[in-house]
Amino acid sequence: MQYRTLGRTGVQVSSLALGAMNFGRIGRTTQDEATAIVDAALEAGINVIDTADIYGDGESEEMVGKAVAGRRDDIVLATKAAMPMGAERNHRGASRRWLVTALDDSLRRLGVDHVDLYQIHRWDPNTSDEETLSALTDLQRAGKIRHFGSSTFPAYRIVQAQWAARENRLSRYVTEQPSYSILQRGVESHVLPVAEEYGLGVLVWSPLASGWLSGAVRAGREVNTHRSAFMPERFDTALPANRARLDAVEQLADVANEAGLTMIQLALGFVTAHPAVTSALIGPRTPDHLHAQLAAADTVLSADVLDAIDGIVAPGTDLAPHEKHDTPPALLDPSLRRR
């Protein structure tokens, strides 16, 4: 396992991090399976566990808390808030009112008195940066969080938040967590360069592109992944974006075979090769999935392999742009761009 410094925090983290979104009802992973996954991950040298309050409406946090009990100090523990937690309109977002409550709820579910990294799950356009950063700074000073970061923020919002922290003499975001894979490279255009400019640690999610890069999705083979059951449109090869992804996957499989690598090694080795990336979040549902992904822990891709990937999916290109999660709201809502 490789270790890197998380931005400018001085905290050493593994190049692969354990994402716990699949713990519980989302991935149908039981507590015993979750604990076995955590045990194996820690044994392999992973020291980061990332979850969020919305994963299973708190179920993932509860399962993580049980799995790490008695060894909390050996783990860089991260969670997130801001996504809706129920129908109540103020039980979401990045207001002081909600973040104070949401963090207490997360700490209770995790069974800890602090988290190492608290992340704003999505940018909240209804709350000012000053409001959010002020609340996070106070929670940090209270000892409930060690550091805080953003997740899936557009590049211009990352810049704005850095400016707001300096202008108001508040603590700043020290990490960003974007979606990044061979098939979704749009963050290379702006988000990753901005993260480098401000010295942010970067924890990338979905490096296997929801299973497209796991080896489970191939031409002429029935798609049989967990995600295809509840997101069928993401794997419907009648759609142009999915046909483009399938074509790219077939070419990437040839590159992997020639290099003596699995598709998982190719995919994880690719994202961790970017100089802005600190860790890649893996989200196994079973111990077998974890072991297949751990095989990529020390994978270093050669320049020839990286060049071959660039020839299949050009740098800065998203093959499924409609699945981007950091698109500015004005591009999605006509009322925000028309008088």
Residue 334: per-residue pLDDT: 87
pLDDT in tens, 274-333: 999 999 999 999 999 999 999 999 999 999 999 999 999 999 999 998 888 888 778 878
**Residue-wise burial string across 272-300, b where 16 or more C-beta atoms lie within 10 A, e elsewhere:** bbbebbbbbbbbbbbbebbebbbebbebe
Three-state secondary structure call for residue 263: helix
Round to whole Å and give the CA distance between 289 and 335.
44
CA separation for the pair 163, 281 (Å, rounded): 28
The pTM of this model reads: 0.93
Mean pLDDT, range 222-238, rounded to an integer? 70
**CA-based nearest residue to 273, from 197, 220, 204:** 204
Question: DSSP letters of 27-64?
Answer: TTB-HHHHHHHHHHHHHHT--EEE--TTGGGGHHHHHH
Q: Which of the four pLDDT bands, split at 50, 70 and 90, describes residue 227?
A: low
| CATH 3.20.20.100 matches 3-211+271-334 | yes
Whether the per-residue pLDDT at 269 is higher than 90: the answer is yes
Amino acid at 294: L
What is the C-alpha to C-alpha distance for residues 295 and 99, in angstroms, rounded to an integer? Answer: 37
Residue with tokens 């999935």: 289
The residues annotated with a catalytic role in the active site are 55
Query: How many CB atoms lie under 10 A from the CB of residue 310?
Result: 13
Give the pLDDT score at 171.
98
Distance CA 64, CA 66 (A): 5
Q: Of 139, 133, 140, 176, which is closest to residue 158 (Cα–Cα)?
A: 176
Residue 228 has pLDDT above 60, yes or no: no
Better pLDDT: 41 or 337: 41
Instruction: Give the distance from CA 155 to its chain's centroid.
Output: 16
Q: Given 3-state DSSP classes, what are the helix, strand and coil percentages for the chain, each rounded to the nearest 5?
A: 45, 15, 40
Q: Which pLDDT score is estimated for 267?
A: 98
Phi, psi dihedrals of residue 201, rounded to the nearest 5°: -75, 145
- Cβ-contact 145, 103 below 8 angstroms: yes
Task: Please state the domain extents for the chain.
Answer: 3-211+271-334
57 or 325: whose pLDDT is higher? 57
